[in-house]
Every structure is written in structure tokens, then in C-alpha cells.
Structure 1
Amino acid sequence: MDGLEEFGAALGGVRVVGLGESTHGTAEFFRLKHRLFEHLVTEHGFRTLATEASASAGPAVDAYVRDGAGDAETALTGLGFWTWRTREVLDLLKWTRSYNRGRPRADRVGFAGIDPQRSGASVARFGPERAGALSVLADAQPGRLPERRAELLAAAEALEAGVSGASGDADRWHARVLARAADVATAEPGERLWRVRDGHMADAVDEAVAAAGGAGVAVWAHNGHVGVRGAALGARLRERYGPAYYALGLFFGEGAFRARRMWPGPWGPRTKRPSRVAVNRIGPAGPDTLEALLAASPGSADARLVDLRSRAHEEWTRWTYPTRTHGAYVTRFVYRRNVMPVVPGKEYDGLAYVPVSTPSRPL
């Protein structure tokens, strides 16, 4: 892979690396991030993978990779996100378990979910009687319960206040997860929801950094989260860690990726039954895009990395480019035109590019 040595050389003093992706359904992104995580672990001493996945269900994955408890596929499915229920992510968990086998506990690599969504494991820990109104957070989607904000936040505060004693540390953590989940589920949709969710994910990364005891933490999330933009997760991490946070954006040339499809217009929002996960095809990016610039750069047909910190003096890093971005949902018919403006040297510390995207492989 071109640029790996340059990427590694840029990590001196870095404690947190954001590994982005411009789609949640590209196999090449997942395999590339697997390779990069291996590099971070074996060459730079990183010891935690913090993922845009259920914080509540994260301990089950952590127990598998650290101690071999349970089953990898069951733990992965328990995260509740179809985006990560893939062969590629399963391979990463199995590699992590293999790496940990036989190592001293203090040297093992751990896993943390950082997203307050999908808090079923925390609800189950307390049971329906103690969880009460918070039971709805097992499956509640972000921003769907604004009318219940006062009720759910009060219930979360009471639950956390009712946990006492050293033996309640785990209960206290799960109560905190439910408080964050309540805040996200009841936030007003739009900019406020984005700010609330990313703020809580940043706090979860902080907890992972503290638990790592000085070892590095890799953060796996969408480009829109890891990039240093507005109130995004990456912007919070830059505020808190300065240059010790390194944001890597991942982009692709053409191909296909998996995502749920919505209808355009007012009838398109995700209200009732989720739309099916489909393979979405897309041709080469337009000539003025960041993807086109990366495609024209010299390098192999394999993935390549570009460190922007060592290129800060180059004028092109300060220009604005449209770039493609697709989340877990895309709007059918028009998703190919879905772009956002990016100033690469301002929003990222490095870029990764894969020429062809193929769909991630579901379990």
C-alpha cells in the first residue's frame, strides 16, 4: 500500500487516530481499516478500537476479543448495526482475538462502542422494573422521541443516582449509557441532534483513552464524524487532544456500496419499517472533485495514503472540493449527486483512496 511509511512517520505523539469512510458499505474501506489497525497495534502500540456502534453492546465484543468469551459473530450482531455485520468486520474481530491470545492482560487490545444508539444491553441489565420508561431506548432511533425528553432524562438521572457502592461501577456505566441514549433519542432532529450525538461519542472516546492508560485509540466512524468540521466528533477530539488527534478520511473512485434506500421528498424519512439494504452503483467522480484529484495522483492501483501534515505548505490542500458522502441510508435515484464541500488540509490530517469500491459482504 503506497504511503503507509509516510502515514506511520506522521504518528509521532498521536494518541487518537480517526479512521473515516465515505460510505458505510464498502468492503475495501473495511479491509483497509483492518490493515491500518493492525499497523497501529503492532507498530505504534495502539490498544483500543473505538467504533461508531452500540456503546451498550460494546462490552460483549470487548469480552470476546480480550478473553475469547462467547462467539465473535454473536457479539458482532449484538452491536445492532447492519453496517458492521459483515465478513470484513468479523475478520478484524477474529484477528484481534488471535493477537490477544496468550498475551498479558495489560497488553491486550480492547474494543469500545461509542454510539449511544441501540442500548438494549443496558436496558436488559436493569430489567423492565428498574429501567421503566427507559426500556424504549433499546430500539429508539435518534431524534424520534422529542416529546418525551423531560420524562426520559429524569428517569435516566434517577436510575444513575440509585446506583451505589463499588460493586455498582458497571451499573453506573450502563446508567450513563442510557442517559446519553435518552439525550440522543429526544434531541430535536437536525443540527442539534448531530451536535448531541457527536458530543456523546467524543465523551465515550475520552473514556476509552483514559482506560487505555496512555496507549493509542483508533476511532472507526464515517468521514462526517472523524473530520475536523463544525461540532463533529473529530472537531471535539481536535479541541481536546490538539495535534495528538489525527483524522484520516477515506474516499473511493467508482464501483458499488451497500446502503438502505429511501424515497426522495417528504415521504422519504425513516419512519416505519426500515427500507432494505441494497447495492448502490456509482460511476467515476466528476473532474472537479477530491476523488478525481486523488485518482490522478501517481501511485499503484492498490489503496494509497497521503499525509497532509507533511504537505501543509502545498496550496491544493487549502482549496475547496466537492466530495461524495453516503451514510447508512441513501436517497434512491439522486444519491449519485450527493456531495459536500471539503477543504482537505483543514478537515483532515491524511487521506486514503481506493480506486474501486465493492459492496461489503453481509454475514
Structure 2
Amino acid sequence: MTFAIEDVMTARPRVLALGEPTHGEDVLLEVRNELFRRLVERDGFRTIAIESDCLMGLVADDYVTAGKVSLDEAMERGFSHEFGRSAANRELLRWLRAYNDGRPAAEQVHFAGFDGPLEISHAASPRQALTELHAYLAARVDATLLPCTAETLDRLLGADDRWANPATMMDPSQSIGRTPEARDLRLLADDLAALLDSQAPDLRDDDRARLHARTATGLLRYHYWLADTSPGRLPWLLSVRASVMAANLLALAGTGPVMAFAHNSHLQRVRSSMRLGDIPLQWWSAGAIVEAQLGAGYAYLAMALGTIHHRGVGTPPPDTIEGLLYARPDDRFLVDPGTLGRPVPRVSPWFGYAPLDPAHLPSIDGIVFVKDSGGA
């Protein structure tokens, strides 16, 4: 497979997004790994950020930059969404560690998660983000400036399982996101984040503290809307998650060019949509939010997949995007969307796979096509 940024764009973007049409197919991650290696070696990229818990990602980055943890530990504690089970993700971390070995810190390549500490079933307790932010500030600023003590945070947080209760996703009454304690925590998180910003001249270059600040405020906002009972609850939850993702990508882009990897719905320029039962939902993805800030500094490549036989997704109809590409002789290649004419939509027999929408073609910079998942 040949690939170069100049194949689909004229300038190096600050964020190059690569979207996948489904999760769990390692062949897509293998292609991602190959593209990222080329971006590092030929185009100076320094970070790969994937759709995984941003705090857990710090563990994986500790492995690839300094070997502070073992590879097994990085796989176990460095990924969310069960992505640590992927052989391709393991190979990615192994390559990053080998690339960084012997290089000075300024030349090393980093791994990051850019999702919040969120699973489809629940949201995590804000404890880790809040307590680490508080500890960081307590060690560096005048104690009289701190809005609370560590003991106050601990009391307000209570038991973590109250926050991570999976029943809250479908039942707002189970959420503690609008209790008096949670409201107090939102105010304290905001003050701690503001204190971090106000001390920036003395606290330069501490990206992890800023990550903890963003995560604490974002998580508490997410929990607040988990407790909502209005029709705006689900759109708010989707929007808060997208905003958290976007803020993390923008922060990473400030340190050098970033390759972002996630589902197409999180990276596309057009509005994302889904149905939950009979409820249609729409929201602006993280990619759309990032592009609103970066303009031409954001580029989006969409992955398309021909077959996933073990999921019942067979040969695509010839007049669809995937069918037109499937008819070509190569198994993996990059193509200009403008060369595909007017294909018709493909309908997937499996809910976990989202074919590319022909209406989205004008908003895509390039399509990375993979003929077959090869899964089992």
C-alpha cells in the first residue's frame, strides 16, 4: 500500500483523522499502524491518538516513552473499550517503544487516548481526574489559593461505584449527577481548572495537569446530564462526549501533528446521527468541532471495508462506494472520493458496521479501502 499526505492534500495538517467503519477488525488497525509509521518517518508526526480513555492512555504512553510499565501492563491498563485485547494495538505499542528507544524526549513519538473515561454502559467517577489535579496544584501553589482540601473532595466524591452505576444510562433517577455533592464538585472542578490556568507562567508544559482538568470538568458535566429527564438528555450526552474528544485532540495538536483514529462517526465533518429505538439523534462530531477551530489544519480520511464474512457482510453491491472499490484489483489502497461518481448507499446486514454514505463524499479528503476483514 502506498501513502503520502500529498496524495490527497497539499499541506501537512495539524490533525489527520482516520475513521473506521466498525470496531474490532484488526486488519483496519494494521493499516492504521502502517499509515502512522509512514507519517512519523516521512511527515514528522509525533502523536497517535485513538478512541480510548484519555487517562488510561497515560499508562500506555508511559510504556512507549520511558518503559515505566511493562507491555503487558500497558495493554491491560492503557486501553478502554476492550481495545487492549487487540494484537494490532499491541504491535503499535511495541513499535512505538522501539522507535523511541535511545531518542531524546523532544524527538519521541507519543500514544494518547482522546475519549473521556466513558463506556457505552456508564461513565467513570471523576475521582482520579479531580484528586490528581488537586495534588498537582497543592504541591506547587500557595495553599491559601486552593478552593478545597483533599479531604473535602474525598467526602463529596463518596463511593466510586455510585458514579459508575450502569443503571444510570437508561434510568436518570439512578444518577447522582445532580445531587448537592455533585453540584459542589462541579464548582470546585471549575475553580481548580481556573487556578491551573491562572498559574500558567509558573506551571508551563504540564500537559497532564491540563488533561486532568479537562477530564474532571467534562466528566462532571456528563454526569449532570445523565441525571436529566428532559428530551435534551441524549443529545447533550452525545455532545458532551464529542466536546471532550475535541478538546483533547486540540490540546494534542498544540504539541505537533497528530493522527487521530476512531469510528467515522466521531471524525466526520458532517453531522453524525443514530437512532436509539424510535428516537433519531444528531450531533456534531469531535472532528467537526476540531475543524471549526483548525480549518485547513484538519484533514479526514475515511476507511471503507468490502466484506466482513464472519459478521454476515458479504460482497458489496457493485453500484455502492464499497462495490466500486471492491472491483479494483488491489486489496488496500487510498483513493480520491471525487473519482467515484454517484454511487448508491449500501445497507449493512449487521448493526455494528456502517458503510460510507455517498452524501458524505464531498466532505472526505480521501478513502482508505480494505477489501476484506479477514476476521474469524
TM-score, normalized by length of structure 2? 0.74
2:262 aligned partner: 221
2:178 aligned partner: 150
Q: Give the alignment of 1:1-363 within 5 angstroms.
A: 1=1, 3-5=2-4, 8=7, 10=9, 12-78=11-77, 79-118=79-118, 123-124=127-128, 126=131, 130-131=153-154, 132-133=156-157, 135-136=160-161, 139=164, 143=169, 146-147=172-173, 148-151=176-179, 152=182, 154-162=184-192, 170=208, 173-185=211-223, 186-187=225-226, 190-210=234-254, 212=255, 215-230=256-271, 231-256=284-309, 280-296=311-327, 298-300=328-330, 302-308=331-337, 311=338, 314=339, 316=341, 319=342, 321-323=344-346, 335=351, 341-359=357-375
Measured at CA, do residues 109 and 172 of structure 1 come closer, stay the same or move farther in structure 2, by a change above 3 Å?
A: closer
Residue identity (%): 25
- The structure with the largest alpha-carbon Rg is 2
2:277 aligned partner: none
Comparing 238-247 with 152-161, which one deviates more in the overlay?
152-161
| CA contact 2:324–2:340 (8 Å) conserved in 1 | no
1:302-329: CA deviations, max 9, x gaps? 2111134xx4xx572xx4642467xxxx
| CA contact 1:49–1:110 (8 Å) conserved in 2 | yes
Partners of 1:113 and 1:103 in 2: how far apart? 22
- In the TM superposition, what is the alpha-carbon distance from 1:11 to its structure 2 partner? 5.5
Partners of 2:17 and 2:353 in 1: how far apart? 26
- In the TM superposition, what is the alpha-carbon distance from 1:178 to its structure 2 partner? 2.3
Partners of 1:133 and 1:85 in 2: how far apart? 31
Measured at CA, do residues 143 and 241 of structure 1 come closer, stay the same or move farther in structure 2, by a change above 3 Å?
A: farther
| CA contact 1:202–1:236 (8 Å) conserved in 2 | yes
Q: RCO (CA 8 Å, sep 6+): is it higher in 1 or 2?
A: 1
Q: Secondary structure at the match of 1:70?
A: coil
1:186-224: CA deviations, max 9, x gaps? 3565333222211210111011111x1xx2100010011
| CA contact 1:57–1:120 (8 Å) conserved in 2 | no
- In the TM superposition, what is the alpha-carbon distance from 1:9 to its structure 2 partner? 6.1
Amino acid at match of 2:157: A
Q: Secondary structure at the match of 1:80?
A: coil
1:86-119: CA deviations, max 9, x gaps? 1111100110111111111101011221111247
Amino acid at match of 1:305: L
- In the TM superposition, what is the alpha-carbon distance from 1:172 to its structure 2 partner? 5.7
Partners of 1:237 and 1:290 in 2: how far apart? 26
Comparing 49-58 with 165-174, which one deviates more in the overlay?
165-174
Partners of 1:223 and 1:172 in 2: how far apart? 27
Measured at CA, do residues 338 and 245 of structure 1 come closer, stay the same or move farther in structure 2, by a change above 3 Å?
A: closer
Q: Secondary structure at the match of 1:58?
A: helix
1:8-55: CA deviations, max 9, x gaps? 563623111101111111121000000000011110000011111101
Measured at CA, do residues 337 and 241 of structure 1 come closer, stay the same or move farther in structure 2, by a change above 3 Å?
A: closer
1:112-147: CA deviations, max 9, x gaps? 211112476963463995354373587466955745
2:139 aligned partner: none
Amino acid at match of 1:117: P
Amino acid at match of 2:86: T
Aligned length: 319
- In the TM superposition, what is the alpha-carbon distance from 1:352 to its structure 2 partner? 0.9
Q: Secondary structure at the match of 1:96?
A: helix
Measured at CA, do residues 145 and 171 of structure 1 come closer, stay the same or move farther in structure 2, by a change above 3 Å?
A: farther
Query: Which sections of structure 2, spanning at least 5 residues, go unmatched?
Result: 133-149, 227-231, 272-283
1:264-291: CA deviations, max 9, x gaps? xxxxxxxxxxxxxxx6332122344221
Measured at CA, do residues 153 and 343 of structure 1 come closer, stay the same or move farther in structure 2, by a change above 3 Å?
A: farther
TM-score, normalized by length of structure 1? 0.76
Query: Which sections of structure 1, spanning at least 5 residues, go unmatched?
Result: 257-278, 326-332
